[in-house]
């Protein structure tokens, strides 16, 4: 499976809108997994400790995997913040994304419909500025091989889009290779041509 994710190079993206003197700060972060989303929320609470609300919505994995969706109204009237934020976010077809909208109340009540529009518009604004990159599903395998074949086997793996992510040195060299899922079968067939090489399936 492939899907877009935020391409922010470990930086947050932030956009601000003002609605009837209330300031809405939408902060977006690449967040692969719910732990990363929780860290994002804690960071925003620390960065804006005097804000009236820290509402959030997350799509913490593939965009069509609703198991990893989440939201919170964070003290706003039920259904006026987190859910409309998630509705916009989940329809953007971006995965591994967390957005916290920080609100500073400006003195004028927006009403239920006004809050729904404001929080939804804050998400739309930050998404409009968000660059994305396509995430390719990755596959890992282990390879045990004689040391004198290391150069040839590593070159073979690289020619199939593989990357060495770990080396263990024992009686034989043990490599851990990460590569695009689409290249798995071709690399496996190529490695079978080396009887000295032992292939271990790390994930299927």
The pLDDT mean for the chain works out to 92
Question: Over the stretch 56-78, which tens digit does the pLDDT of each residue have?
Answer: 999 999 999 999 999 999 999 99
Residue 1 pLDDT greater than 70, yes or no: no
Question: Over the stretch 24-57, which tens digit does the pLDDT of each residue have?
Answer: 999 999 999 989 999 999 999 999 999 999 999 9
Rounded CA-CA distance 190/18 in Å is 59
Q: Which two tokens stand for residue 173?
A: 């060299």
Check if the beta carbon of residue 145 is closer than 8 Å to that of residue 173.
yes
Rounded CA-CA distance 187/182 in Å is 10
Residue 201 pLDDT greater than 80, yes or no: no
User: Could you give the domains of the chain?
Assistant: 3-134 (3.30.230.30), 137-201 (3.30.70.240)
> How far is CA 140 from its chain centroid?
19
pLDDT computed for residue 202 by the predictor: 67
Out of 91-100, 124-133, 175-184, least confident range = 175-184
Rounded average pLDDT over 192-197: 88
Higher pLDDT, 71 or 199: 71
Rounded CA-CA distance 99/14 in Å is 9
**Residue given tokens 């809405």 in the structure block:** 24
Residue 204 pLDDT greater than 60, yes or no: no
Question: Over the stretch 97-125, which tens digit does the pLDDT of each residue have?
Answer: 999 999 999 999 999 999 999 999 999 99
Who's near 75: CB < 8 A, 6+ residues apart? 52, 53
Q: Is 78 exposed, middle or buried (0-12, 13-18, 19+ CB in 10 A)?
A: exposed
């Amino acid at each position: 499976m492939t899907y877009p994710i935020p391409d922010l190079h470990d930086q947050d993206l932030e956009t601000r809108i003002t609605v009837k003197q209330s300031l809405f700060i939408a902060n977006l972060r690449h967040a692969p997994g719910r732990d990363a989303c929780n860290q994002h929320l804690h960071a925003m609470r620390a960065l804006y400790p005097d804000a009236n609300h820290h509402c959030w919505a997350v799509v913490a994995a593939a965009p069509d995997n609703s198991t990893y969706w989440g939201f919170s109204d964070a003290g706003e009237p039920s259904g006026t913040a987190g859910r409309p934020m998630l509705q916009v976010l989940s329809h953007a077809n971006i995965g591994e994304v967390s957005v916290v909208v920080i609100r500073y109340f400006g003195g004028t009540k927006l009403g239920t419909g006004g809050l729904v529009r404001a929080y939804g518009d804050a998400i739309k604004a930050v998404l409009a500025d968000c660059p994305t990159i396509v995430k390719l599903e990755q596959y890992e395998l282990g390879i045990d091989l004689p040391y004198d074949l290391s150069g040839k086997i590593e070159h073979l793996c690289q020619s199939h889009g593989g990357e060495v992510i770990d080396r263990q040195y024992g009686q034989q060299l043990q490599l851990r290779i990460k590569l695009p899922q689409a290249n798995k079968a071709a690399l496996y067939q190529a490695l079978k041509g080396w009887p000295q090489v032992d292939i271990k399936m790390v994930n299927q």
